[in-house]
Amino acid sequence: MQTKFLLSEDQIPTHWYNVIPDLPGPMAPVIHPGTKKPVTPDDLLPLFPMGLIEQEVSRERFIRIPDEVREIYKIWRPSPLFRAHRLEKAIGTRCRIYYKYEGVSPAGSHKPNTAVPQAYYNKIFGTKRIATETGAGQWGSSMALASQMFGLECTVYMVKVSFLQKPYRKSMMQLWGAEVIASPSDRTNAGRGILAKDPESQGSLGIAISEAVEDAATHPDTRYALGSVLNHVCMHQSVIGLEAKEQLKLAGDYPDVVVGCHGGGSNFAGVAFPFVADKAAGKKVRLVAAEPASCPTLTKGVYTFDFGDTAQMAPIAKMYTLGHDFMPPGIHAGGLRYHGASPLVSQLVSAGVIEAKAVGQLACFDAAVTFARSEGIIPAPESSHAIRVAIDEAERAQQEGKERVILFNLSGHGHVDMAAYDAYFAGKLEDFDYPADKVREALARLPKVESVG
């Protein structure tokens, strides 16, 4: 009974996969928040290095991974693919469940897959400092790690609720040389504006993004880095699915359904996008994004133009959104609390290529405990959403008398999230109802974008 399917270092993908040529239709333009006209590469230069801007708009299906990046990928890649024999037994399924484990990176999640190339393209561009935001701390720690590897300074605006709930991610960032600031902060106009209205603000990813964008835009030697949502980020994460496909060949299997948890869309895109081309070529494979019921962007949001951030400084993109100033409840899967979604994932959901499912916090922790007690690995609260949906898929197959092959991405481990497990076992976690009124209010403040889309 083989449990792990491993590739050698020379089987780390040589190219990233870009889904754009395989989209079912043209992409909507990205709109400048000030002029309300389509953004040009020059508009983006204060925020990103040219290498990443080129990737953001590239129509090439495969883009070569620089040797310097592959060398660092070797620290943890190729990541293992596991057959979940013990989970299968625990839930009594005849489905074959596989999971790709991204918790083997130094930061404990998939995020270094993009942090490392982002640091690399900034380094060769001449950037001295990276300004970025972090929710639960996974992105900030990944960017701190990658900045350290390329000799860049790093400033991280950390959503306050997570800054307080997850102090050890702050320690990791500091260990890797970054400066960490609780957001909203008094460092930026955006932060000061929020604090003036609500001194007790717990922050949100949208607010922290505004602060980091403002920091980068107002300092010439500084660039901004985003851990999710953008096209180039989804592309960097494609190493997950590209490797998983090779590993499933070793196992002699091909998935009926591929599942990933969805915050901004990057780890889901990473595992699922390499299957989009197969699907377009007629393969029967379902791609399912798992999101929190309390922040149900893909299942309850509107597919329209909205700001990427609360303070309306980031570009306007066509995506599923709950409204740029929607403040989700303080669930423990902090990395899934974003009002919007990747425009690429959004377009594929809208076209029916990708499905989405919303799951409640308690059901996710229940699945995480079943997983940890059978497979051993302690999942990140974010990743537990993928486990929940994978188990639900197995149970549904069982009821239909089918034996399906299920692949899910275990995006990270939960070693720094044990307070969330403590709260769960103490009965202190609650399920938040879908905050329909707050969403309706936030959606009333969508930007007006004319003559495009």
Ligand X SMILES: *Cc1c(COP(=O)(O)O)cnc(C)c1O
State the nearest-atom distance from the C-beta of 109 to ligand X, in Å: 4
Least CB distance from residue 235 to ligand X, whole Å? 13
Query: What's the CA gap between 128 and 275, in Å, rounded?
Result: 37
Return the number of other C-beta atoms located less than 10 Å from residue 10's C-beta.
9
- Kindly state the smallest distance separating residue 179's Cβ from ligand X, in Å: 20
Q: CB of residue 21 vs ligand X: minimum separation in angstroms?
A: 22
Which residue from 417, 339, 419, 341 is spatially nearest to 381, judged by alpha carbons?
Answer: 417
Of 301 and 335, nearer to ligand X (C-beta) is 335
- Tell me the closest approach of the beta carbon of residue 43 to ligand X, in angstroms: 24
Complex with ligand X: residue 329 or 449, whichever CB lies closer = 329
Comparing CB distances to ligand X, the nearer of 93 and 409 is: 409
Minimal CA–CA distance to 418: which of 169, 141, 140? Answer: 169
Closest by alpha carbon to 406, among 18, 82, 19, 105? 82
Provide, rounded to whole angstroms, the least separation between the CB of residue 28 and ligand X: 20
- Beta sheet of 257-261, edge-to-edge order: 4-5, 81-83, 96-101, 405-410, 257-261, 286-292, 355-359
CA 175/CA 130 separation, integer angstroms = 16
Shortest distance, position 227 Cβ to ligand X, whole Å: 6
Cβ distance to ligand X smaller for residue 37 or 415: 415
Q: Which is nearer to ligand X, 155 or 228 (CB)?
A: 228
User: HSE (CB half, 13 Å, CA atoms) of 316?
Assistant: 21
Helix (H) / strand (E) containing 101: strand 96-101
Q: Smaller CB distance to ligand X: residue 123 or 329?
A: 329
- Of 51 and 264, nearer to ligand X (C-beta) is 264
Distances, alpha carbon 348 to alpha carbons 31, 341, 386, in Å: 20, 11, 19
Question: In the complex, which residue's CB is closest to ligand X?
Answer: 412
Which residues would be at the binding site for ligand X (CB under 6 A)?
A: 109, 111, 138-139, 228, 261-268, 335-336, 380, 382-383, 411-412
> In terms of DSSP bridges, do strands 286-292 and 302-307 run parallel, antiparallel, or are they unpaired?
unpaired
Residue with Cβ nearer ligand X (207 or 261)? 261
Q: How far is the CB of 10 from ligand X (least distance, A)?
A: 27
Burial (CB < 10 A; 0-12, 13-18, 19+), residue 423, is: middle
Question: What one-character DSSP code corresponds to residue 31?
Answer: B
Three-state secondary structure along 257-305? EEEEECCCCHHHHHHHHHHHHHHHCCCCCEEEEEEECCCCHHHHCEEEE
